[in-house]
A = this chain, B = another copy of it.
């Protein structure tokens, strides 16, 4: 092994040969120098981007820290223009403050002034930061561009705890922090938290790749946090909490044995507390039970010897055995998906009052794993209404709850969307490839213990087949839901037209003729029901934003000659349900929020009203048009769909091919939509004659 001293010696010891000439140049490169020179890998390659990256790294850290400490994040971001330099760059002061657990005094310098220093690198759990690079890189580029150190203040909870503040510079030559003006102080009104202030040359922009956009999108997928942003124009943007409930906290898991390199296994064995091989397997890995451990030993033919005595051949035999033995997929409580209700909520946020036509039921796929790293794909689509119709659909990309604003082209999410045929789901698309057009916003979130980013800038997710496939499935399930809504809408409009005629025009005619003939107006209800011969469901709803109460009413008219019994089904946002408010016909609800109401023996020419209230943050995420009816032949139902077999099975296990078949089947069916209606009437008529 060679110390830097030896190398120094060599540098003098040149003998004139080319090799010696070259030797003189061979030097160690500090990791800081490396990243300083390869700015673009960290995303600091332009003035515009640098400004955004810095804020992003700081906010990501704040969110991570708060969540680990079970604190509802409250984050303050301020960007001030300090000095104008040119049209292409200015000097800004950026301040980010959080209400996180704070950082222990002695650790502060390394956290903010040293690359590759962090708490989450070795942890197998979903988190935004991982490498311990981002915030220190920010401090580094801040200093390189402005010569001003970062000011860090932090206070940890506890009666005895004082707050500390200090100036920090990252010394690129050594990749170590240089601290000045370190001093304790009492932070008025602060229980715990951290604040960083740094200066950076940058260019503040608005629009698609702006700091504002990053913060807004962060709020979308982190609805449990409140973020306040003071922009350089002095405007304040407050992103209020959309929910008080914290996301499911992601647990740290032990490594899953699958996909381990022999060398990794060896390294783990060197660091284990366990004495024997079997104990090592059982206790240091997830999903290895007593039985599995036994099996691995059998298959590998390695005896249960002392860990210390294991040879390389043992390790490689074990790795081979692990590939053969059937081991459960990694658990996923290390992941924290956003969940469908919050995705809906989030999309509402991003629309800012813009009223879309429909929120397709978001999809959360079942977990899959790559090299023992579990991952989950979630997707959601909003459609129509006031969303711009002529342009390409907007795509919102997220990884571990962090919005991705740059390098869409290199990202698997974009590739997945562009390689799908959206025409079959009612969106325009040239030749069934490339970005779809239409009034829609598509949101995709990939959560994993290790998101394979294409570079440390974390701007795009590498194009791995397993991930692309999951995104496809999630999106297609969403898209199917959207499509069935569009069909339903079409049918409904037809029915309304018909209803109007019968309900309003007939009585008028009757009235007129009666008047002319000077006869009493006849009771038309039998006639009407004879013509209509339907059970008619009419959904209505009102939302009280102040009280956060959504009142929903389904009026069900029985326009048939027989008594009707039936059930109404709707999936409710659980968080918004208070069973006492679900009305008289309410029957039951499962833990997914699928609720059922039952109406028994509704007489002809009468109606029943199913009324219920949803309350709280999530109340307004329910769309009353997602209602289903069962117990009556679809022949008689109008205004609601028959309960589908896969009702509300969102992330359902389904293969690409199964989806293909389903899609094609439906497409044929729809060739001429009118056919259905005619069928209905005919069937209806028949039944009537019996």
Contact = CB atoms under 8 A, between A and B. Distances in A.
A677 to B, nearest CB: 40
A454 interface: yes
Oligomer copy total = 2
Given A28-B116, A118-B29, A261-B144, A68 B104 contact: no
A17 B156 contact: yes
A320 B409 CA distance: 35
A69 interface: yes
A147 B107 contact: no
Given A25-B123, A264-B144, A176 B31 contact: no
Contacts of A312: 147
Interface in A57-86: 65, 68-69, 85-86
A212 interface: no
Contact of A30 (B68, B116, B179, B463): B116
B25 A120 contact: yes
Interface stretch (A1-9, A550-558, A644-652): A1-9
B178 A1 contact: yes
Contact of A410 (B145, B264, B452, B454): B454
B1 A177 contact: yes
A158 interface: yes
Given A10-B104, A19-B157, A41-B456, A118 B262 contact: no
Interface in A100-116: 101-104, 106-107, 109-111, 114, 116
A22 B68 CA distance: 9
A20 interface: yes
A34 B1 contact: no
B28 A104 contact: no
B462 A40 contact: yes
Contacts of A316: 147
B18 A101 contact: yes
Contact of A19 (B102, B144, B177, B178): B102
Contacts of A120: 25
Contacts of A663: none
A187 interface: no
A15 B145 contact: no
A110 B28 CA distance: 9
A37 interface: yes
**Which of A103, A107, A145 has the largest count of B CB atoms less than 10 A from its CB?**
A107
Interface string A5-49: 011011000010111101101111111011001101100010000
Given A26-B117, A34-B116, A104-B10, A261 B462 contact: no
A262 B148 CA distance: 11
A9 to B, nearest CB: 8
A312 B262 CA distance: 52
A179 to B, nearest CB: 6
A256 to B, nearest CB: 15
A31 B33 contact: no
A323 B85 CA distance: 11
A158 B15 contact: yes
Nearest to A410: B410
A586 to B, nearest CB: 43
A587 interface: no
29 contacts: A7-B110, A17-B101, A18-B157, A19-B102, A19-B156, A22-B65, A23-B104, A23-B107, A25-B123, A26-B111, A26-B117, A27-B117, A27-B122, A28-B110, A29-B132, A34-B121, A38-B456, A40-B452, A40-B454, A41-B456, A144-B263, A144-B264, A145-B261, A145-B263, A201-B261, A407-B410, A409-B410, A409-B463, A410-B454
Q: Which 10 A-B pairs have the closest CB atoms?
A: A144-B263, A19-B156, A25-B119, A147-B312, A23-B104, A18-B101, A29-B116, A410-B410, A18-B69, A455-B455
